Structure 1
Amino acid sequence: MAIRTKDDALALLRTALDEAGVAWEPAATDPYTLVATLPGTRKLATPCALRVGDHTLSVNAFVVRRPDENHEAVYRWLLERNTKLFGVGYALDALGDVYLAGRLPLEGLTAEVVDRLLGTVLQGADEPFNTLLELGFATAIRREWAWRVKRGESTRNLEAFTHLAGPADERPETD
């Protein structure tokens, strides 16, 4: 399908999302924006806005909020990975929240390109999620762990961060 108009690109995008089995919905305020929900394993879901413009497809996906600590290490870690990504790169908004953002020309848009782009977004948001939490939120994770242990609550969803919780002999069993 040759892309001649924004409507052609939007139709291709809808079809590509459907064929890939990706849940999506139109944005409430813009008929040329679709919001896809990419399921993850570390990060439960990554919402991804795909906006068809006059000449480009813009992509924007939230990765993690502004780190509480260790900013330089977090941002360096992200920047080192930017060269390995297709069509997107890590970016910060005005608050310091981390996103994957990119722009591709409509003339090269195909279902295969959409699939590759979404794969890159999912890999870039889901795969490093625990690492980003550990780098930027270790103190908060330790506090949460201690709070849950003190109250006798489950630490199951903190399992990936067991090594941050203190010496092994002080850790309760996760349930």
Structure 2
Amino acid sequence: MGEGGRTVDPLVSLRGHLDTLEVPWEEGTRPGETVLTLPGERKLRTVLSLVVGERALDLRAFVIRNPDENHEAFYRHLLRRSLRLPGVGYAVDGSGDVYLTGRVPLAGLDEDTLDELLGAVLAGCDDPFNELLRLGFWTSIRREWAWRLDRGEPTANLEAFRAELEALDARSPEEGGPRDR
């Protein structure tokens, strides 16, 4: 119940909280859905879907696609991180793509709780992004680095891995460094 005994629409309430927190949002395509695009430091952006149900707020954010390699270490890393994330956890869809999901009761959902939840989403999607790339896509990253260097292409999108990649370039092929290009 809201002020004066009126029932407050939880969707209106959620969007009001987002406005108070100055988080831009747009109406989603599903009933009760609100979509946010959160800026990141490692991952360019995280798109978050919030769906207001009868009793709970469901959330879902894409983290990263199905890894190419090193699956055991990749998923172990995610599971260990899940232990530290309040209100959210990792899930894998039928294609193996990784999402962050959660369900929070609507009762008591206020700006502080929503702010903490958005922080948990960024902690689960943005914070581990480079490590997930290292674990699940290192061979592709190395190929992309070599391709860009061979053609004089910019390497800015690989900057987070520069030191490791340059160290590999300095090694001989026998030590696991690059082959003749």
Secondary structure at 1:123 match in 2: helix
**TM, length-normalised to structure 1:** 0.89
Q: CA deviation at 1:168?
A: 4.0
Work out whether 1:27 is the aligned partner of 2:28: yes
Partner of 2:10: 9
Which ranges of structure 2 fall in alignment gaps of 5 or more residues?
173-181
Partner of 1:47: 47
Partner of 1:63: 63
Q: CA deviation at 1:159?
A: 1.2
Q: How does 1:90-109 map to 2 (within 5 A)?
A: 90-109=90-109
Cα deviation digits, residues 65-116 of structure 1 (max 9, x gap): 0000001101000001111111110111111111100101111211111111
Cα deviation digits, residues 127-153 of structure 1 (max 9, x gap): 110000010000000010011011111
Q: CA deviation at 1:49?
A: 0.2
Aligned amino acid, residue 38 of structure 1:
L
Q: Is the 8 A contact 2:38 2:46 kept in 1?
A: yes
Secondary structure at 2:37 match in 1: strand
Secondary structure at 1:25 match in 2: strand
- Give the superposed CA RMSD: 2.1
Q: Is the 8 A contact 1:9 1:109 kept in 2?
A: no
Cα deviation digits, residues 38-59 of structure 1 (max 9, x gap): 1001101100000000111001
Q: CA deviation at 1:169?
A: 7.7
Q: Is the 8 A contact 1:33 1:49 kept in 2?
A: yes
**TM, length-normalised to structure 2:** 0.87
Distance 1:159 1:168 in 2: 17
Distance 2:140 2:66 in 1: 13
Q: Is the 8 A contact 1:12 1:111 kept in 2?
A: no
Partner of 1:167: 169
Secondary structure at 2:69 match in 1: coil
Secondary structure at 1:108 match in 2: coil
Work out whether 1:115 is the aligned partner of 2:76: no
Work out whether 1:137 is the aligned partner of 2:137: yes
Are residues 169 and 2 of structure 1, via their aligned partners in 2, closer, same or farther at CA, if it must alter by over 3 Å? farther
Q: CA deviation at 1:23?
A: 1.8
